[in-house]
Structure 1
Amino acid sequence: MFYFIYGDTPLPLKYEELMEKIKKSNPNIPVKIYDASQNEEESFLEGISINSMFVPKELLVLKRAEKTKKLDNLLKIVGEYDLGQKEVVVVYEEELNDYGKATNEVGKKVLTNAEKLGKVIVARKALEKKGIQFFIEKELEISEYEAEKLAEVLGDDFFKVKNEVEKIKNFLGGQTFILEKVLPILSISDEYNLKKLVEDFFISDNINQLLEHLKKTKEYMLFLYLVSEELNLALKLVGLKRVGDLKETISYNDFKGNVYEKVKKYFKNNRGFMREYPIFLKLKYIPLFSEEFLLKKIQNLLEVEFSVKNGGIEEGIGVEKFIIEFKRG
């Protein structure tokens, strides 16, 4: 059997689960591990090509396949061999930048060739989040939107989420789920706390609590990511008002109908189109900012990120300077 496993943060755990599954199904199976970062692809192919009459089955693993220059061609060659006596695992790790985007996303040709050989396993953080949301929705019998909001509060550690869901069940005792009711008993994720502080900062210009939080947690790169999201979202909303597609005074019932259907193409993330209500809540940004101001702040943010990454300034100093100089124009 052939397995191609790829992804980002959850990859090591998924890989260990796959290895355990293979070993459990094939007790005492001999294991050979090759490393593409050490140019061991030829040895890997040689191992696949040889079938021993003394060993009924063996497990061959090619790790760090992302280092292979022509991985699609290598997979084609693998397909030329008889894999009847083999369990073959190819591992491709996608590296994420500071904004959570893959810098070496696996190519379509590679995936096509891998699918022809056997099973493709995806281990991406974004998909893990979807799984967590589905778990919350079913366990608490709440809507998809409520599950999404609760998952945002709890974070993406499944074992923590599972414990918090049990805590919620015991707390409610059969009563209707209301997020505001259960918030006081929850262990809220650091990302959610920072996200709320960023939103408050955009609306009120209150910097003290935000600065104190960042000094304590050192989540400076996460701050840059969250601010980038908010600035770009605000820029879209202000731009849509300028062309007459949006008004900040619109009611939610009017917004969630034809209005959002018309503009939702601008509000898409890695999980699909964003929901109406979170976008509706952001309409409060429209009277606060001009397009010129938002574009200037996006440029300032990019300059801070560039300086931090190139060692021109310490991340804490760069971020604090950005916050202190953040004024509406």
Structure 2
Amino acid sequence: MIYFVSGLNSRQIKIDEIKKEYTDISIFDASIESEYDLFLNSIYNVSLFSKRELIILRRAEKVKKMKNLIDTLKEYEDDKKDILIDYFAEYKTKNIYLKDFEKITKNIVNIENEDDLLNDYIDKNLKISNEDKKKLISLIGTDYNHIKNEIYKYNLVLKDEVFSFAKLDGLISESLDKKISDIVDNIMFANVDIDKINSSMYMGIVYGLYKEFEILHRLSKLKLSTDYNTFKKEYEKYKDIFLLHYYVAYLKNKNINRYTTKNIFKILLNIVKNETMFKSGEIDDKLMIFNIVSYINKNKKS
């Protein structure tokens, strides 16, 4: 049996469910060439286990010759070994090998929208209201491993009790992605004290700013309506360009009047310039952040 588990980060939920069916599991990382070779050797070696063994290839998107791997799996037959190919693909259009795997196995799990999957996981592991669940996700983010660790921590305190923010005061840890996202929003549309930003977040903030201004640049070029219903209809034509839920794009479009199209483009160039200067050793990371934030403030409408 061959599993092809692909899609967003929350696919790990499905992988964990599959792993529960096995006691003998071997895991290899495709991003490490020597481990990929070990994976290939492992699927051809005679199994020493009496029970079915699961062999997992993590980060399969790093395999340089995926077509060769697919051809190998087409010929694969072993009653004692099952294979799980773990392939990260953020969007449907990037999951280019899905059809190839459909031809060789029906055991395909493709996660393109993780909202329902994460909601179900939280519901199964916490006694929590929908309102509290939304608030919790807004705090801890949507990274499965972070959610899993957080829930484990909460249940040590809650035991079998209903979830309560009051009972978990001081125990809830915001995800790093959530912290970076909040800082990026404040830089773009409010104010931020650079001295209070942890240096470990600098590069994440730079990448986040570039991504957000890139989206703003596209929106500013399209000049979509700021009226919700009109925007929703107009956005339907361009949703494949943005790969964002229309409501997320609508919220970004509402703030677009804080910048001109010309200034957005200048900010993008400035981010690239400062990142390049940092990577070449001309400036340190704190000066890079200072230069970028100062330039954004200079080109932001009050």
Is the TM value for this pair above 0.5? yes
Once residues 322 and 77 of structure 1 are traced to their aligned partners in structure 2, the CA distance between those partners, rounded to angstroms, is: 49
Q: Distance in 2 between matches of 1:11 and 1:22?
A: 18
CA RMSD of aligned residues (A): 4.6
Distance of 2:173 and 2:63 partners within structure 1: 42
Are positions 1:232 and 2:230 aligned together? no
Question: Alpha carbons of 1:199 and 1:7: their partners in 2 closer, same or farther (altered >3 Å)?
Answer: closer
Compared with structure 1, are the counterparts of its residues 59 and 319 closer, same or farther at alpha carbon in structure 2 (3 Å cutoff)?
A: same
What is residue 200 of structure 1 aligned with on the other side? 186
- 8 Å CA contact 1:133–1:151 kept in 2: the answer is no
Structure 2 CA distance, aligned partners of 1:220 and 1:266?
Answer: 31
Q: Partners of 2:123 and 2:20 in 1: how far apart?
A: 29
1:176 counterpart residue number: none
The match for 1:246 is: 225
Q: Does 1:71 align with 2:66?
A: yes
Listed one character per residue, the Cα deviations across residues 297-325 of structure 1 (whole Å, up to 9, x for unaligned) are 01111233344445554333312221123
Report the equivalent of 1:3: 3
Deviation of the 1:271 alpha carbon: 7.0
Q: Map 1:48-63; keep pairs closer than 5 Å.
A: 59=53, 61=55, 63=57
The amino acid across from 1:246 in the alignment is: S
TM-score if structure 2 supplies the norm length?
0.67
Paired residues of 1:66 and 1:93 also in contact (CA < 8 A): yes
Contact 1:234–1:282 at 8 Å: present in 2 too? yes
The corresponding residue for 1:220 is 202
For residues 1-329 of structure 1, the aligned pairs below 5 Å read: 1-6=1-6, 18-23=18-23, 37-38=33-34, 39-40=37-38, 43-44=41-42, 46-47=44-45, 59=53, 61=55, 63=57, 65-66=60-61, 68-83=63-78, 85-92=79-86, 94=88, 107-108=96-97, 112-113=100-101, 116-121=104-109, 131-133=117-119, 139-142=128-131, 150-155=136-141, 156=143, 157-159=146-148, 160=150, 163=154, 169-170=163-164, 187-204=173-190, 206-207=191-192, 209=193, 211-214=194-197, 216=198, 218-241=200-223, 245-246=224-225, 255-266=227-238, 272-275=244-247, 279-280=250-251, 282-286=253-257, 288-309=258-279, 311-326=281-296, 327-328=298-299
Once the 2 structures are TM-superposed, how far is the Cα of residue 293 of structure 1 from its aligned partner?
Answer: 0.7
TM norm structure 1: 0.62
Contact 1:5 1:89 in 2 (8 A): no
Read off the aligned partner of 1:213 and give its amino acid letter.
K
Check the 8 A contact 1:236/1:266 in 2, yes or no: no
1:279 partner letter? Y
Q: Separation in 1 of the partners of 2:151 and 2:54?
A: 35
* 1:264/1:221 CA distance change after superposition, 3 Å: farther
My pick for the range that moved more, 256-265 or 55-64, is 55-64
How far apart, CA to CA, are the structure 2 residues paired with 1:2 and 1:311? 47
Pairwise CA distance, 1:292: 0.9
Q: 1 CA distance for matches of 2:123 and 2:49?
A: 47
Say whether the 8 Å CA contact 2:215–2:242 is kept in structure 1.
no
Contact 1:218/1:316 (<8 A) preserved: no
Q: Computing the radius of gyration over CA atoms, which structure comes out larger, 1 or 2?
A: 1
The Cα of 1:132 is off from its aligned counterpart by 2.6
**Which consecutive residues of structure 1, in runs of 5 or more, have no partner in the other structure?**
24-28, 96-100, 173-182, 248-254
Q: Which amino acid aligns with 1:108?
A: Y
Per the TM alignment, residue 289 of structure 1 is displaced from its structure 2 partner at its CA by 1.5
Are the structure 2 counterparts of residues 10 and 317 from structure 1 closer, same or farther at C-alpha, using a change threshold of 3 Å? farther
> 1 CA distance for matches of 2:266 and 2:212?
14
Q: Deviations over 1:237-270 (max 9, x none)?
A: 43344xxx435xxxxxxx2223331135445698
How many residues get paired?
280
- Conserved 8 A contact 2:4-2:101: no
- Report the alpha carbon displacement of residue 73 of structure 1 after superposing the two structures with TM: 3.7
